[in-house]
A and B are shown apart, each in its own frame.
Chain A
Amino acid sequence: MGAEPTKLLQGTTGDWEVVVGLEVHAQVSSKSKLFSGASAEYGAGPNENVSLVDAAMPGMLPVINKYCVEQAIRTGLGLNAKINTWSRFDRKNYFYPDLPQGYQISQYKDPIVGEGEVEVEVEPGETITVGIERLHLEQDAGKSIHDLAPKESYVDLNRSGVALMEIVSKPHMRTAEEGAAYFTKLRSIVRYLGTCDGNMEEGSMRADVNVSVCRAGSYEKFKETGDFSHLGTRTETKNVNSIRYVKQVIDYEARRQIEVLEGGGEIDQETRLFDVKSGTTRTMRSKEDAHDYRYFPDPDLLPLEFDQAWVDEIKAGLPELPDAKKHRFINEYGLSAYDASVLAADKASAAYFEEVAKCGDGKLASNWVTGELFGALNKADKDIETSPVSAAQLGELISLIKDGTISGKIAKDVFALMFEGEETGSPADIVEKRGLKQVTDTGAIEKIVDEIIAANPEQAEKVKEKPKTMGWFVGQVMKASQGKANPQAVNEILKKKLGVE
């Protein structure tokens, strides 16, 4: 756990604490919508994926999509949360052209998923636990388009009725980094589960960011008592659709709120919008203009009930999740918590790593994947699924280092050849073909060592006084052998010949 004092923000009148909670909307990866059979695919032409129900034609009725319910349960289990076998849908009433029914079907009082928690790695050595308040299912609205004509607005109902999971955290994040790390972690979990594709550009995942500030020490009182009056008034910044923006919103809002409070002002409980260009937030709707949504149970739908056996069945079919994977990587391969979490965060990376680790050295595999491979991929703007070097190749390459066929240095060269596409196929063949095999024949190395010592008598004398300067000889021998000499053998022979203890 990070030390509390690092989480304080200094103002002109004293120290402040920042408190952050996120409401994340994750679109369920489902072929059809939550209450209608219309397609939920992204990218169709305007109003092509609209059923009579989505358009709120008179007399149309919603019917729950079982697949979406299953995805919500899967996600709930992935958040280590309580699954409510009895839940209910409510209507949230408000008028807007892209809301054809005049209400959104959501879950207000009785959500399908209750409290849970997730582990979040903020940075190497710092892991926090963020509480989940709830997860509920709801319909997405359509889209209003105002810039197609000067006096008219258009409505596209393709998204109308698409299933969303709203995942509400507890106010357990204390910095912009924690907020961003939590958002990242949620994305990782839903992608692992396959319940949401996590595609933020397409709007599959977006966050409403709640931020408040309070005087140093108040948060601790809140934590002890659960009494929200210890916290400051919060603002909610809507529809933030990238991890970087979440960070910016929290930083900006915290600073802005402290400034307002220190200037003698008050924070309004309001809804705000994030302006990507300026990196600032501005008022969207003040409290006075807040809707009275007139929630009430949707009489067109029966309560959502299922038995525990179904939940257990779903649970049994869950894949290994990032946290479990991380802990297994630590235990099984001896990785550091940070390396393990970096590898476990993404399903494809984790699978790649495990394939490489079949070489028998998990730590070395981890170093190669997070170091050489990630670096190269980053530089080439490629992702792990399209890596030019396969996990099998990398594993074999590491095996060649381990059995002394090549040195680490040569391995990097071979890796680069494979990554650039200059060589394909088995690394062992590449090494063979290019004559890169390490020289372990001590006779051959001794010969080179003798020659170099003979050519540099002064240097050889110096080593006897300053043993550290032997490194120069190592370099010379490696150079003369074109990097192929076994470094360990070179070291031993040099020591012997130069008389270094």
Chain B
Amino acid sequence: MTNPADLTLAQLRDALKAKDVSSLEATDAYLTRIEKAKALNAYVTVTADKARDMAKASDAKLAKGEGGPIEGVPLGIKDLFCTEDVLTTAGSHILDGFKPRYESTVTSQLWRDGGVMLGKLNMDEFAMGSSNETSFYGNVVNPWRREDGGNTDLTPGGSSGGSSASVAARLCAAATATDTGGSIRQPASLTNTVGVKPTYGRVSRWGVVAFASSLDQAGPIAQDVRDAAIMLKSMAGHDPKDSTSVDRPVPDYEAVLGQSLKGLKIGVPKEYRVDGMPDEIEKLWAQGIEWMKDAGCEIVDISLPMTKYALPVYYIVAPAEASSNLARYDGVKYGLRAKEYTDITSMYEETRAEGFGDEVKRRILIGTYVLSAGYYDAYYLRAQKVRKRIFDEFTDAFSKVDLILTPSAPSAAFGLGEKTNDPVQMYLNDVFTVTANLAGLPGASVPAGYDRQGLPLGLQLLAKPFDEETMFKGLFALEQAAGANKRPNEWWA
């Protein structure tokens, strides 16, 4: 029989229910793969014993014909989610040895529904990065390589690089991820996986280490659209412990897959044609428009002129919130405390100097600056006003269209180290994704094709707030039309 770790989440789920395979078998298959894939550096922590225990418990339920919607399915968890008694690092040195005494709402819902935890996935430090190169635990390597005969290690995208790489390399059936400016969709685009960032408020932030509270939203990275739909159903839902969580029922996203798109209006914003974008991406986008037409959609040219301000606004709002959110890492209560210090101020300084990496420090500095007396109005307040206009612009656009189609990222996977010396170049990776975070909209990336060098490229769909169902319908249609379901060669194994 096939390796259970080669199945999609949906296939594995069905095989488990049919007792064609046990959860323990699937779990062991994944653990074996993880063991062989150290070169990818996708996991920070592998919880093999816990995984086997959970798998056995699932098998017991499955044997009785019981169990939740994803009973026995092995999952990878981005190391930004707090997991009880399991090291939680957020990719940072400053959380050294931190084992929470609580479980995030998202992961507890996954366990409630039968998920099995394989371990914690690598990520950019505090989710700040677009290449997974800011992690204290080292770069994650993209399972995909250029078809040029070279062995250049490429980025799996970021910040959810461990999630995208592990799903692409089948080191878990699916993974949790988070998206503050594109951290689910850009890595998905770079690894031929599906990444879904739901509407702000759809998924609880409780127990997820905060980066920028008004932008952070958790979602899945999965092998295909169906798997993403299954994952999101388990992850989503109202949580009274998160004041920004919205109380509305969670639809069955899987049920809408395959439904007709006839008559849907698809917006195509001209402002998403940016300078220096490879023509392959341009072509893929045009192809995507054709696929949507073929599916019976009407294409509507729209204009989102505020788009050009989205990145500058993001790089004020996100660092501002981060500078405050990260103040709690001070060496007093948990995690790292510098060994040498003379007084409380020097303890703060030494601990934070040692514990945070350069990118995190850069953003704390930017955030502290833009909130400072005398600069608040010029930066933070103005950014919030522009943010409101971006939201209004989308609201207006969505009065005319049902979905918006754009590329997911401005380039395919790039080489590790290629952009690390130029933060602004790195920030440009989020140019297509960041608007959805600023406006709180759902957005998702789906594999749509490959560039000349055989690297995956994704297309993005944006939808109205809480209209993930229409988005999933569109994603499924694109996935079917594109048929971009290649897998990377297992060069690492």
Do the beta carbons of A296 and B371 come within 8 Å of each other?
yes
Chain A CB within 10 A, most for which of B81, B330, B348: B330
Assess A292 versus B372: contact at CB under 8 Å? Given A58-B100, A61-B206, A95-B330. Answer: yes
Do the beta carbons of B243 and A58 come within 8 Å of each other?
no
Do the beta carbons of A95 and B102 come within 8 Å of each other?
no
Query: How close is A103's CB to chain B, nearest CB, in angstroms?
Result: 5
Do the beta carbons of A296 and B243 come within 8 Å of each other?
no
Which residues of chain B from 169 to 201 have any CB-CB distance to chain A below 8 Å in the complex? none
Q: Report the separation of the CA atoms of residues A57 and B214 in the bound assembly, to the nearest whole angstrom.
A: 19
Give the interface segment out of A297-305, A310-318, A371-379, A476-484. A297-305
Which residues of chain B from 115 to 136 have any CB-CB distance to chain A below 8 Å in the complex? none
Do the beta carbons of A59 and B333 come within 8 Å of each other?
no
Assess A294 versus B372: contact at CB under 8 Å? Given A58-B100, A155-B332. Answer: yes
Interface residue from B324, B371, B372 paired with A102 (Cβ < 8 Å):
B324
Do the beta carbons of A61 and B333 come within 8 Å of each other?
no
B368 close to chain A: CB less than 8 A: yes
Q: Report the separation of the CA atoms of residues A402 and B344 in the bound assembly, to the nearest whole angstrom.
A: 72
Do the beta carbons of B324 and A59 come within 8 Å of each other?
no
B328 close to chain A: CB less than 8 A: yes
A76 close to chain B: CB less than 8 A: no
Interface flags, A98-132, vs B, CB<8A=1, else 0: 00111100000000000000000000000000000
Residues of B within 8 A of A296 (CB): 320-321, 324, 371, 376, 380
| 12 extra interface residue pairs, beta carbon distance < 8 Å, beyond A58-B328, A60-B207, A102-B324 | A56-B328, A57-B82, A57-B102, A58-B90, A58-B209, A58-B334, A93-B324, A101-B327, A102-B330, A292-B373, A294-B373, A300-B210
Q: How many residues of A contact B (CB 8 A)?
A: 29
Main secondary structure of the interface of B (DSSP, over half): loop
A64 close to chain B: CB less than 8 A: yes
Do the beta carbons of A100 and B241 come within 8 Å of each other?
no
Query: How close is A258's CB to chain B, nearest CB, in angstroms?
Result: 31
Q: Report the separation of the CA atoms of residues A56 and B329 in the bound assembly, to the nearest whole angstrom.
A: 9
Do the beta carbons of A95 and B241 come within 8 Å of each other?
no
A62 close to chain B: CB less than 8 A: yes
Residues of B within 8 A of A100 (CB): 328, 332-333
Do the beta carbons of B205 and A61 come within 8 Å of each other?
yes
B228 close to chain A: CB less than 8 A: no
A positions within 8 Å CB-CB of B: 52, 55-64, 91, 93, 95, 97, 100-103, 153, 155, 292, 294-296, 299-302
Query: How close is B402's CB to chain A, nearest CB, in angstroms?
Result: 28
Which residues of chain B from 328 to 368 have any CB-CB distance to chain A below 8 Å in the complex? 328, 330, 332-334, 344, 348, 368
Query: How close is A399's CB to chain B, nearest CB, in angstroms?
Result: 59
Main secondary structure of the interface of A (DSSP, over half): loop
B47 close to chain A: CB less than 8 A: no
B45 close to chain A: CB less than 8 A: no
Assess A55 versus B244: contact at CB under 8 Å? Given A294-B371, A296-B320. Answer: no
Residues of A within 8 A of B205 (CB): 59, 61
Do the beta carbons of B243 and A91 come within 8 Å of each other?
no
Do the beta carbons of A300 and B213 come within 8 Å of each other?
yes
Query: How close is B314's CB to chain A, nearest CB, in angstroms?
Result: 14
Query: How close is B293's CB to chain A, nearest CB, in angstroms?
Result: 40
B104 close to chain A: CB less than 8 A: yes
The 7 closest A-B CB pairs, nearest first, are A102-B327, A294-B371, A299-B213, A299-B214, A56-B328, A59-B207, A58-B209
Do the beta carbons of B348 and A95 come within 8 Å of each other?
yes
Assess A302 versus B243: contact at CB under 8 Å? Given A58-B95, A296-B320, A296-B324. Answer: yes
Do the beta carbons of B368 and A294 come within 8 Å of each other?
yes
Interface residue from A95, A102, A295, A301 paired with B243 (Cβ < 8 Å):
A301
Residues of B within 8 A of A57 (CB): 82, 100, 102, 333-334
CB closest residue in chain B, given A96 = B344
B212 close to chain A: CB less than 8 A: yes
B55 close to chain A: CB less than 8 A: no
Residues of A within 8 A of B214 (CB): 299
Query: How close is A87's CB to chain B, nearest CB, in angstroms?
Result: 14
Do the beta carbons of B243 and A63 come within 8 Å of each other?
yes
Do the beta carbons of B344 and A52 come within 8 Å of each other?
no
Q: Report the separation of the CA atoms of residues A62 and B102 in the bound assembly, to the nearest whole angstrom.
A: 16
Chain A CB within 10 A, most for which of B214, B327, B348: B327
Q: Report the separation of the CA atoms of residues A59 and B216 in the bound assembly, to the nearest whole angstrom.
A: 11
Do the beta carbons of B332 and A302 come within 8 Å of each other?
no
B20 close to chain A: CB less than 8 A: no
Q: Report the separation of the CA atoms of residues A256 and B332 in the bound assembly, to the nearest whole angstrom.
A: 40
Query: How close is A38's CB to chain B, nearest CB, in angstroms?
Result: 14
CB closest residue in chain B, given A64 = B243
Q: Report the separation of the CA atoms of residues A296 and B376 in the bound assembly, to the nearest whole angstrom.
A: 9
CB closest residue in chain B, given A292 = B373
